[in-house]
Amino acid sequence: MRRRRRRWIGAGSTRGWRALVGALAVAALAPGGVLVLPAPAGAVTSLAASGCPLFPRDNVWHADVSRLPGHPRSAAWIRSMGSSAGLHADFGSGTWDGGPIGIPYVVVPASQPRVPVRFAYASESDPGPYPIPPDVPIEGGPQASGDRHVLVVQSGTCRLYELFDAHRDGTGWRAGSGAVYDLRANRLRPAGWTSADAAGLPILAGLIRYEEVAAGHVDHAIRVTVDRSQASYLWPARHQAGQAGADLPPMGLRLRLRPGVDLSGFPTQARVILRAMQTYGLIVADNGSSGFIGGVPDPRWDNDALHQLGRVMLADLEAVDESSLRVSADSAAYRGGVASAPVRRPVPARRSAATTQRTLVPHWPMRPEPEVVAGPLAGTATELPVGAAGGGAAASAAARDTVLGLPRSIVAGIALALVTVAVLVLVVRVRAAAVSRRTGRHARPRAHARRAQARH
């Protein structure tokens, strides 16, 4: 018996074209005209696929700190971090001890089922359930014994869910702590609250992703750890996990690579990262090894190029005073930042209070309280009057009307154009196949007659 050969979309498959046309038609007619196709096996998660921003443009993670003044305690803090140590990329390609190198994240749809989560530090965690898929990647791998961070971006809602020390627990999860962020807003966590990081800040905001380095520009500060920190924090951080000592760096400290460091001799991947350190700097976000910077694992990283970051010593960094950027203690918006222009949208029908209550994600009160800076650091940060939170609402409206930086109407038009082209190709192929069959029916008898005549 002859085995049937499996046919894929290609030169001889009208079935494949029909499947493609159907998929494109469904995508084009979906609400908002957003084209969402399933990722192939082994594909790398991309934040761009979610259609969500990595916080508004006026968020302090995106602030250019290249011209800010140095902090008066910079020398002491750098010395305590170990000025002779080199930077280290705590991410890369391949695996280490059986797990990915770096902190992975995953993008899930708005329809992703939510599962319960129990927290060891429940009083400072946002309660579940969280939209965690069964195959969510865990920092270090399923058997890891380290921080075991889990990061989930939900498209549609543009919510970021982060867990620390995450473990499966029946049909749900248990974790040390958890935090939920609106990627279209600048709201900070309540003062004194932790997150999945010791500083109470979002992890994903400071991770280096391959696609931005490949594009030649990282537009945000980079997450960095220190081996010891003091029992205090600076805006935008909300939490500390340190010890007494004025010479130890506080959580939330903004560092910057000195402008005089020559980047010309570094490979491309390392050079793009170092340029971001000179422009946007680094933020002390957790306790760990000093000078370890965070990133997302990706098979496209060049580990040899990333290793060259170790040529930069911590002595090449300096602490900066970003207190002048703060608008409000409860907002990550920075003074001088420009949010995206608002887009007018139809006003949705008013829902009942009960329905609204069921669909709201955990939120935090915007209390007018000053920044908490404990211990010997008290008074070093300029206390500014608390004003309205930054342009989160404007960025929120704009982000909801864009996909991959393009208006939804344009994306819908592209999808419809693809459908039209696919239909035309299908029609041409069907007609060609019909002509071929008619020609074949007339040709086969003639060929048979010739072969019979040849035998005689």
Instruction: Give the pLDDT confidence score for residue 357 in this predicted structure.
Output: 31
pLDDT tier for residue 376 given thresholds of 50, 70 and 90: very low
Q: Considering the chain, what is the average pLDDT of its residues?
A: 78
> Comparing 193-197, 208-212, 346-350, 402-406, which segment has the lowest mean pLDDT?
346-350
Q: What is the mean pLDDT of residues 72-98?
A: 96
Instruction: Give the pLDDT confidence score for residue 441 in this predicted structure.
Output: 44
Instruction: Give the pLDDT confidence score for residue 335 in this predicted structure.
Output: 94
Instruction: Give the model confidence (pLDDT) of 328-371 as tens digits.
Output: 999 999 998 877 543 333 333 333 333 333 222 333 333 333 33
Q: What percent of the chain has pLDDT over 70?
A: 68
Instruction: Give the pLDDT confidence score for residue 82 in this predicted structure.
Output: 96
Looking at per-residue pLDDT, the higher value among 398 and 128 belongs to 128
Q: Residue 413: pLDDT above 80?
A: no
Instruction: Give the model confidence (pLDDT) of 182-195 as tens digits.
Output: 999 999 999 999 99
Of 83, 52, 93, 125, whose CA–CA distance to 314 is shortest?
A: 83
> How far is Cα 189 from Cα 330, in angstroms, rounded to an integer?
7
Q: Residue 304: pLDDT above 70?
A: yes
Instruction: Give the model confidence (pLDDT) of 88-97 as tens digits.
Output: 999 999 998 8
pLDDT tier for residue 422 given thresholds of 50, 70 and 90: confident
Looking at per-residue pLDDT, the higher value among 254 and 12 belongs to 254
Q: Residue 120: pLDDT above 80?
A: yes
Instruction: Give the pLDDT confidence score for residue 437 in this predicted structure.
Output: 55
Instruction: Give the pLDDT confidence score for residue 407 in this predicted structure.
Output: 58
pLDDT tier for residue 408 given thresholds of 50, 70 and 90: low
Q: What is the mean pLDDT of residues 387-395?
A: 35
Instruction: Give the pLDDT confidence score for residue 71 in this predicted structure.
Output: 97
Q: What is the mean pLDDT of residues 396-413?
A: 53
